[in-house]
A and B are shown apart, each in its own frame.
Chain A
Amino acid sequence: MFGYYLDLALRSLRRNQALTALMVLAIALGIGTSMTTLTVMHVLSGDPIPAKSSQLFRVRMNVVPDDAFKLGDKVPDNLTRRDAEALLHDARADRQAMMSAGSMVVVSPQGDPLDVQARYTSADFFPMFDVPLRYGHAWSRDDDASHAQVVVISHMLNQQLFGGADSIGKMLRVGDQSLRVVGVLGDWDMNPRFYDLSDGQFGDSEDVFLPLSTALDMKLSTSGQTWCWDNGKNVHGADAPCIWLQYWAQLDTPAKAATYRQYLRNYIALQQKAGRFTHSGQLELQDVMEWLDAKGVVPSDVRLQTWLALGFLGICLLNTVGLLLAKFLRRSGEIGVRRALGASRRAIFLQCLVEAGLIGLAGGVFGLALAGLGLVLVRHQPTDYAAYIHMDLRMLLATFVLALLSSLLAGLLPAWRAMHVVPGVALKSN
């Protein structure tokens, strides 16, 4: 039966090619724009570290003095050095790391100055975030404690400075000091760069990683947000009234997460008791996806574009409903004949839906082409995420599902009307 409906649908579509083309065009435009924006949404709201995203937690708390704290303020993103170092010292999580973004000028072996993005962090950073190393290894906790002058560099910087060879043991010149290369990263593509969203959410990983303790010794400059509630000369001092350090903890099971949460509550209570503040303190312990959600990694422009595109698809469907209605009712005579010859209403309804579905599939094919074009346009946009927007298999399938579903939806009302054509009237008026 389906084959027969398909044959009828193809004949009908061929009979009025202009109208068919208009309908396919309308659906294709709607699907093309919707899938373009949905793909962008899909990529931007994706999980950057699926294997561990529920075990990695961003630690945030509000332990700032009463004067600097207003009720209803959001919990600050970062910690003071005092708190970060205290938590790191306690080491109650399976793994933990404090960090800050920074930048510095290194000098190539040829003597050229080169400006690089850096991350100052602690030893657990590498195993915590599954950072792959091509050569060597990360530094150890002992290196953190001894302020070791060691550095892990990116594959790209290794290429640039040392021609891509195994550069372990080579020295990286930073001003009048040197850092010993202990590791070279493999390909590490972490987008969005969830561990620190304050310094560009998308983009290449940093070029240089070194112990935070060493970076502080060397007085290297930091970047990202620094917020101080008092004028002070040394923003990065051990007791400075400034919040600037990101803190992450790895907690392998929900039970451990609960225990750690309690530990943090106790920590906050202790600080209160020590007289740092009198307010109740605030705590946020969010896993990767909660954290990304809280920070609104998907730009509001992209959300707006998605709604706009879906609205556009809706209008395209409304259009298709009208055209299908015209098309089916124009064939009232033919439908009357089929009904008179014994076709059931159900048969007419299904036949009409097959025709609508066929238009949907054709619209899907063209829509996919348009979405491809749309994504090329998106990739040429000057946004920092542009380079990471690609269509994957799931979105490819989703395109056809969306096209088919929406065309069937559009076909419902016209098919319903067509099945209620009264055979007698239709035949007579013919």
Chain B
Amino acid sequence: MHFRHIFSALGRHRIAVWLLVLEIAFSCAVVCNALFLIGNRLERMHRPTGVDEAHLVQVGVRGVTPGSTDAVMAQTRTDLAALRAIPDVANVSVVNQVLFGDGVSFSGVSLRDDAKAPSIPVTQYLGNAQLADTLGVKLADGRWFKPDEFVSYAQLESSGSGVPVIITKALANHFFPGQSAVGKTIHAFGTNRVVGVVDRLVQPRDYGPAGYYGYAMLFPVEMPYSQGRYLIRVRDASQRQAVIQGALRALKADGPLRLISSKYATTLEAARDKYYRNDRAMAWMLVGVCLLLLVVTSVGIVGLTSFWVAQRRRQIGIRRAIGATRGDILRYFQTENFLIATLGIALGMVLTYGLNLLLMAHYELGRLPGYYLPIGALALWALGQLAVLGPALRAAAVPPVVATRSV
């Protein structure tokens, strides 16, 4: 190829070439980092929860008159029986908090019974004997709670010491790396012995450092409906709406005046969707910016190359007259663009890295994995070649006879 010719020709437009190189470099930096951000959001949105999401629905009920603890517990049992009788319901439980719900309940947990011991906030799921099966969490080690281990909510609050606990594998690895957590004790509600470890269960909402997302505890507590929500696992995912309607009817049919509304009944899938909607919106926004950026960059390439083609009409005519084929002219401009793009991408890699450092310093973001760089490079090379095609074809169409005319 005529690299030497191309370089000497480009040398005559040094400023314009550098502008193009800079534009490609900045585009490369922004696109690579934006793709990384999009990747991060997607990864976040697809974090598994460890529960049987496709089959879960939740229904919240609020009492109008507080009522005595015994009365509320009795009503809870009646409700549970009514809910279990609904067709397609596999299991029902009352739990203090639901995934992707409004609040997070957590305790500071440490290994020693000492206020000065380092503690981390761990979220707690308090629920009855059906909770594990309703959630669909899997036991990795140890056992489930025994029927005689269940306590009342008031008991847990006032004298929680001695109540057994089941923790997640992630939490077990945090506290007891490399050993079985079963039989060990942690300090949450007083002293609690670990009887089992589940594969995975997560915080209802992100709370604390990102690495804590998989830290959770289960306690054997008979929750009153007023302190939690009904969690229902359906047999057939397509029947979730029907089960919600059935649950609302069943709850309204019995008990005192209570606030029972479809506003507080949702599938877990819908709750998840709502929880991640900001991330989804941000990802789409980033996709939009990337596309716009590529459009603007190609506009720059088209504009400047068109200018060069127009300026060099006569030279192109001369080259054609002395034997250059159309293909030669086409390739000339394509090679020229390739060189500029390569220069831009090389500079862009450095800028990408710098921008990533800046993002790491100001936002909770990790280091950009290396594979984003070739993706960005390929995208910009392809974009450059596409953008240059129009002007280059026009250049190739310049007839040799132009050489004999004065411009």
Contact = CB atoms under 8 A, between A and B. Distances in A.
Contact of B116 (A67, A105, A383): A67
B144 to A, nearest CB: 25
A154 to B, nearest CB: 18
Contacts of A314: 26
Given A231-B189, A308-B30, A318-B22, A326 B296 contact: no
Contacts of A325: 15-16, 19
Contacts of B157: 231, 233
A330 B311 contact: yes
Contacts of B103: 223
Interface stretch (A25-33, A139-147, A158-166, A255-263): A25-33
B296 A301 contact: no
A22 interface: yes
Contacts of B30: 308, 311-312, 315
Given A175-B65, A176-B65, A304-B363, A322 B303 contact: yes
A232 B64 CA distance: 25
B50 interface: no
A134 B380 CA distance: 61
B71 interface: no
Interface residues of A, number: 47
Interface of B: 15-16, 19-20, 22-23, 26-27, 30, 34, 37, 62-66, 103, 115-116, 154, 157-158, 160, 189-190, 257-259, 261, 263, 274, 277-278, 281-282, 285-286, 289, 292-293, 295-297, 299-300, 302-304, 306-308, 310-311, 363
Chain A to chain B: the 8 pairs with minimum beta-carbon distance, closest first:
A326-B307, A67-B115, A319-B300, A322-B19, A113-B259, A175-B65, A382-B277, A323-B303
Interface in A324-367: 325-327, 330
B153 to A, nearest CB: 11
Nearest to A175: B65
Contacts of A233: 154, 157-158
A300 B152 CA distance: 42
Given A19-B303, A312-B293, 19 more contacts: A29-B295, A29-B296, A68-B115, A107-B257, A115-B62, A175-B65, A231-B189, A301-B282, A311-B26, A315-B296, A315-B297, A322-B16, A322-B19, A322-B20, A322-B304, A325-B19, A327-B307, A382-B281, A383-B278
Nearest to B258: A113
A305 interface: yes
Given A22-B299, A315-B30, A322-B16, A308 B289 contact: yes
A25 B34 CA distance: 22
Nearest to B108: A229
A381 B261 CA distance: 26
B10 to A, nearest CB: 14
14 contacts: A26-B300, A33-B292, A105-B62, A114-B259, A219-B66, A223-B103, A231-B160, A231-B190, A309-B289, A318-B19, A325-B19, A326-B304, A326-B308, A413-B15
A98 interface: no
B219 to A, nearest CB: 13
Interface string A64-85: 0001100000000000000000
Nearest to A320: B300
Interface in A287-327: 300-301, 304-305, 308-309, 311-312, 314-316, 318-319, 321-323, 325-327
Main secondary structure of the interface of B (DSSP, over half): helix
Contacts, number: 123
A315 B257 contact: no
A22 B302 contact: yes
Nearest to B273: A382
Contacts of A330: 307, 310-311
Nearest to A384: B278
Contacts of B26: 311, 314-315, 318
A323 B115 contact: no
Contact of B289 (A26, A312, A417): A312
Contacts of B282: 301, 305
A321 B189 contact: no
A274 to B, nearest CB: 20
A113 B257 contact: yes
B160 A315 contact: no
A316 B116 CA distance: 56
Contacts of A219: 66
Nearest to B18: A322
Contacts of A223: 103
A114 B261 CA distance: 10
A355 to B, nearest CB: 15
A3 interface: no
B289 to A, nearest CB: 6
